[in-house]
Structure 1
Amino acid sequence: MQHSRRVAVIGAGAGGLVSARELSREGHHVVVFERNTQIGGTWVYSPEIESDPLGIDPNRTRIHSSLYKSLRTNLPRELMGVRDYPFVPREGEDRDPRRFPCHREVLKYLEDFANEFGIRKLVRFRTEVVFAGLEKLGKWRVEFRCENGDFDYDIFDAVVVCVGNFSEPHVAEIPGIDGWPGEQVHSHNYRDAEPFRGKVVVLIGYSFSGMDISEELNGVAKEIHIACRSAKTELLGTQSIISNASFHPMIKSVCEDGTVVFQDGCVISADVILHCTGYKYHFPFLETNGIVTVDDNRVGPLYQHVFPPALAPGLSFIGLPFKAVPLPIFELQSNWIAGVLSKRIALPSKEEMLADVKAFYEDLEVLGKPKHRTHELGDDMPVYCNWLATTCGCPAFEEWRKQMYIAIGIYKMANLKTYRDDWQDDKLFCQAYEEFSKYTYK
């Protein structure tokens, strides 16, 4: 017999919306808490930036979204949607039919998804969760600030954390930075290239945002110096698509005269350091008495990136894995959580889950993978998705998805400037749309 639970979902971004649907389908009573005025989370673009462009002042004005104005997806839309509601081109005003659409199209997809499955009625807008902690008898107390500024609370059987991972900047540690006279900005507060016109910019990091932003700065900034880990430097220097960019190893130090010294001894005078250095997991509202911690960006201990063994199934997390395809993972993780809460799916014992986590951490050490990359999937994403699918009794991760994920990764690195507009693989796309034809949602 399945059990219906009362579940708090924190956040109405992509993870929260998908979680709300899966939990509701399982028969649970769901309340979604969203501090902003609309759904979409990080996909809601704002031209505003925070009062501290570096994003480290705890008293700064906060902007949730990290989108820059020109952002387009770095994955094809066919990969991005949930299984039974594909992210296909749709007709309508201001729709973007491109295979790699702009951020506004992703938000429209999420709005379509919420409307299709009746999720909006589950969301309490302008309601910020300020505390979530375990009460007696396994219940969870969730305290929140209401739209009128008053505080209130509610009691739930379970809490699902879906607050995303793109709002609390991680900043590089640079010796001498306190005396450096130049400007510092985190990519969280980058919107367009114009503020950097005519300036010498040192950009730290060359992952997805670093690639996009450095290309935008090309022809606007006077010079672009890209600092990235030494293993990438030589290769990127020969493959650079940016005419006035130089690649360097990481910064060794900065000086009061405005110079920046790189680890290879190169010295340049710079106006701006732009940190494209990613984000930190941040759950200021969550109280677990030290059971769940964030240590060097490892959230743990978590069984399969979702359940803390000592608090399962009452507490769970959606969307921690990165270098992955978000929504399909959200869907599988949410289905697993919903099934566990209803007792359709059994979790291993606490001891077995802790042993699994311990073995996972040991494997990371053997592979030489640092702690801050604990939740990175990358090439392991299909294996993780298939594990979730098997556990949930869902169809396996389709072969075309796996092949498309691999193929675009390879093509992207060889064609950084043009991959969004010239990548074609008719066989894979035909397989995708053949799969999509099984579903009735248009």
Structure 2
Amino acid sequence: MIEVRRLDAAAPGFDAELDALLDRAPEADAGVVSAVDAIVADVRARGDSALVELTNRFDRRSVTAATELEIDRAQRQAAWDALDSGLRDALEQAATRIRAYAEHQKLAGFEFTDALGNRLGQQVTPLERVGIYVPGGKAAYPSSVLMNAIPARVAGVDEIIMVVPAPGGELNPVVLAAAHLAEVDRVFTVGGAQAVAALAYGTATIPAVDKIVGPGNAYVAAAKRAVFGKVGIDSIAGPSEIVVISDGDSDPDWIAMDLFSQAEHGEDSESILISPDAEFLERVAAAMAARVQTLPREATVRTSIRERGALIHVADLDQACAVSNRIAPEHLELAVEDARALLPKIRHAGAIFIGRHTPEAFGDYCAGPNHVLPTSRAARFSNPLGVYEFQKRSSLIECTPDGARPLAQIAGCIADAEGLQAHAQSARDRG
């Protein structure tokens, strides 16, 4: 047996129950914010000295100088060379697919001549230096390295700085191998709020960057929020999420494992199945009860499904889409016969997996689109990480003498109305 809540969209209390399920305040608690603010201030004030002290304290290291935190290219090359050939091939194929998708995302500049003969347009340029945060320690997340670094490289970023914690001095070699494959420029074994602060403000050893991307724990999220404005950030990531919409004709075992694919990330992950077929929901529940026992992370999955999972019965697929839009999930699977017919009805989702043979796990590793996605309902207004996150746009305005005269009159008139006389005179000087 597995504990999972059942919700019925036709029930009087459904809205309140769904709101309660989705109420996961993403803000860090006061203790985390206070600790992070102190760490950021310390690194900003003392640079490398603070970085060394904090790394030794939090990661159980014995570093004597910040320069010891850097992993050079030779070490990354050695990690790549030592990989099992099967894993090396898989990483290369994933990288190729991620890069091919990213190439389609590049923004292009434009110019045109308006009716007055003036040239207007937009110039697109890459960021100069970016920092990517990758979770570390015993865990291996080479996919995070590829998903963060490859779009930056495709965008034309000059320098990519990677930070990854190494608790107890332990760092998974697969992460280093992925950094080699993704052509990361420099790698430092430092994590937590201190790594984010170092990237934002720079130290003698770690250069300041223009933007910080990548997932992390509550301290990393709070640090990204604290340094935003000094640098750009991708997002404040919350726990992982999946919504599956099924018409009832999918394999229950497949759907159960799709839900578990997010539940195993952590106890606060959210896994929701929506279907108009009540009997199918129960068949999935039975499959979940049987298959959860096969998972190494069974305890985590059980807690996640009990606390944040749900089986939602709806009247039809139209209502399923409406409920999904309200959830605005990070990942959405459309496990229905004519999945593309539902696409126009989906407004809010980080990534949409179309059809019964497209599990979310493909997106995590090798489909091509990025797996860094908006969470906590941010899909209502935010986007997946992509090449465009590493490019910026500058407006282009070039006036001819004749084209300037009409603009001088328009600008002068509006500036007068705003009480900005220097603006008005500056414009009229060209008229």
In the superposition, the TM-score normalised over structure 2's length comes to 0.22
Q: Which has the higher contact order (CA 8 A, sep 6+)?
A: 2
